[in-house]
Structure formats: C-alpha cells, structure tokens
A and B are shown apart, each in its own frame.
Chain A
Amino acid sequence: MIKISIDKAKPGMKIARDIVNEAGMVVITAGKELTDALIEKLSIMNIDFVYVEGQKEMPPKEEVFEEIEKRFKKATDSYTLLIKKALKTHIEELYK
C-alpha cells in the first residue's frame, strides 16, 4: 500500500484504505478502483491524499548507499558517524 497525493491518482488504481470525508463518513471503500469521475469528486471534496495498492518506487539500494557515502564525506566525528550508522540501518529496513 502506498500513499499518494490526489494529483498523482490515476484511473485504474485500487483504493487500499477507506476514504473518509470531513464529517468522518466513508465516501469510497477499500478495494474500489479509481475512475476519472471519482478522482474529480475527491478533489472537489478537498481530499489531498489517498492510499492505493502497490509498492513505492524506490531507487536501487546500492545507489542510495553510494549517495550516503558521498554526503557523509566530510563527517569524521563519532556523533555524525553514529547518525550515518543509524541512517544505514533505517535504509536497510526500507528495502526489506
């Protein structure tokens, strides 16, 4: 399941979580497929985000780790390196 902003929503995407309006009423139930008309309706209702089925597009893991190495090039102290270590663990988890 991924969360996308309404302007990224496209017909054919499958809703993964009930969409609730300002009054707390369910307007579209999970499992339904989006259509142009539904997307239009959601934008009128001021709904900014929806959850749809699918996986987030992520860059290759090796690339992300390479970028981290580059960004941390100037970090040599133990505190900043601790952050780097925590970040790498976090990124590893995202790719599990």
Chain B
Amino acid sequence: MNAQEVIARIEKIEALPTIPPILRKILSVIEDPKVSLQKITEFVSSDPTLTARILKMVNSPVYGFPGRISSVSHAMVILGLNAVKGLLLGVSVFEIMQKNMIGLWEHSLSTAIFARIIAIRKELQSPEEISIGGLLHDIGKVILMMSFKDEYLKLIESVQEKDDFLYEIEKQYFGLTHAEVGGIIAKKWHFPLKLIEPMMYHHKPKLSEKFQVETAIVHLSNILAMARGVGYSGEIFVPSVHPFVWEILNLKEEEILDIFREAEEPITTSGEIFLSDE
C-alpha cells in the first residue's frame, strides 16, 4: 500500500461508521484550535461516564496527585488545556483498545506511568503532559485498526512468524508506522508539538526537533513498559534503546532499577481502572 493512500484514509477517520459516537463528539471538541478550558469542562461535566473516567484517571496512581480531586473543574485546572485534550482522547479510545487489541490499554498506561516517573526525575516542568504523550504514543495503532482492521490484524498476527518488530512490518506494508500515523492525526487534531513529537518519533527519537527530552522519555518509557511485560503492544520483542536517548537522559543502572521499583505498584494496579464503570 502506498503511504499517501494510507494518510488519505486516516485523515477521514471521523467519517468512519465504526467510530463510537462519544469519540466523534470528543474529536469535534478537541479539534477546534480555539476551544477553551471552560468549554471542555462543560462538555466533560455533561457526560457522566466521561466525568467518572477523568476523575478516576486523575485520582489514580498514574498521576499520584496528593489528596482527592473530586470535581472536573479542579482536575482541568491542575492538568491544563493540553493535557486535558490528550487525556480526553486517551480515556475515550479505551473501549476501542479493549475491543480490538487486548492489552494495548495496559501497555499505554504503563508507558504513561514510566514517562511521568522519568519526567519527575529529570525535573521537567510538566510531567503530566509527558505522561499523556506516553498514554497516547500508540494511538496510531488504534487508528490503523479502525481504518484497516483486517489488514492490520493480519500484520499483528504475522509478528510471531516473521520474527520481527511490528513497526518494521507496518513500514513495509503501509509505507509508514503507527508512530507516524499517530503524529499525523495529532497534528490534524491541533495537538501541541510537545505531544506530537513524542508520539510521532517514539521509534525514531533523533528526528525530534523541539522536544527531544520529551521524545526521549516516551521512547524509553515504551521500552521499559515492554520490558516489564505488563500489557501487550503488538510487539513480542523489546526494541533497543536509541543511543541518542541514552545520551540525553544519561541514566545509570541503579536509576533504571529505581524507576522499575517506583513503577511496580502503579503499573500492576492501574489496568482495571475503568472496569467498574461498565
């Protein structure tokens, strides 16, 4: 398949009949570049499932804010507009992940948790935003699944037999990877570059321009999540860490061990976070 055709199809994602109505509504809200925090707050508050999910997320060990956040408006202020847009999308693709790729949600959450822990260690200003980058890094897989379901399922199945990385197989078949698909869609949805770069370049961190540290963190977090083996990303092998990322983050073995220790409880308890709403 040629990359142009793939891009043309994924750019029309909102028109797909398989897209859940709630996601369609969320997309129309976040796609508006002028949307305000207040408008998003009203939108979330009008939907009880969304409200419950946002509150569960911000009160979960994924974030670890002190004290309990019990109102949507409070959550929105703490997180800020960009993180809120991303989080909304993250919680609304949960069902699609659960239905189509069991384990992708757990993998995404684990990546988000590792990203936040590393961002805090590296004293970055907004660990929440980087964690959202982790949560959404594989959203391109969801997009490919919705746009090319049969083909994509076959590719995922072929990973074992081809003994290769899924992203390499995607590149051969579609002419681009889920990371690029995620980046393209994030641009279309007017996400900030701080989220686009980590999503787009989490397999090619050296291509990031403005947000190299953020991209490096999501790259490493994805690898740590796969290494720990919580959830399933479609890959069966842990990819190698890019030497460039190592240079930027400069973590020692003892620090990596500490990161695994710190992540253990949140990653093993967060997967079921939304199961009680159903």
Interface residues of A (CB under 8 A from B): 3, 5-8, 22, 43, 48-49, 56, 64, 67-68, 70-77, 79-80, 82-87, 89-90, 93-94
Contact = CB atoms under 8 A, between A and B. Distances in A.
Contacts, number: 84
Interface in B120-165: 165
Nearest to B241: A79
Interface string B211-236: 00000000000011011110000001
B275 A84 contact: no
Contacts of A74: 165, 237-240
B243 to A, nearest CB: 7
B70 interface: yes
A72 B260 CA distance: 16
Contacts of A5: 269, 272-273, 275-276
A77 B227 CA distance: 15
Interface residues of B, number: 34
B265 interface: yes
Contact of A72 (B70, B165, B227): B227
Contacts of B246: 79
Contacts of A77: 240-241, 243
Contacts of A89: 257
Contact of A87 (B59, B236, B260, B272): B260
A8 B272 CA distance: 10
A90 B261 CA distance: 7
Chain B interface SS verdict (over half):
helix
Contacts of A80: 223, 238-241
Contacts of B257: 86, 89-90
A84 B239 CA distance: 12
Contacts of A48: 56, 59-60, 273, 276
A84 B275 CA distance: 32
Contacts of B276: 5-7, 43, 48
A84 B272 contact: no
Nearest to B68: A22
B169 to A, nearest CB: 14
B16 interface: no
A40 to B, nearest CB: 13
B236 A71 contact: yes
A42 B33 CA distance: 41
A86 B260 CA distance: 8
A67 B238 CA distance: 11
Contacts of A71: 226-227, 229, 236-238
A68 B241 contact: no
B275 A79 contact: no
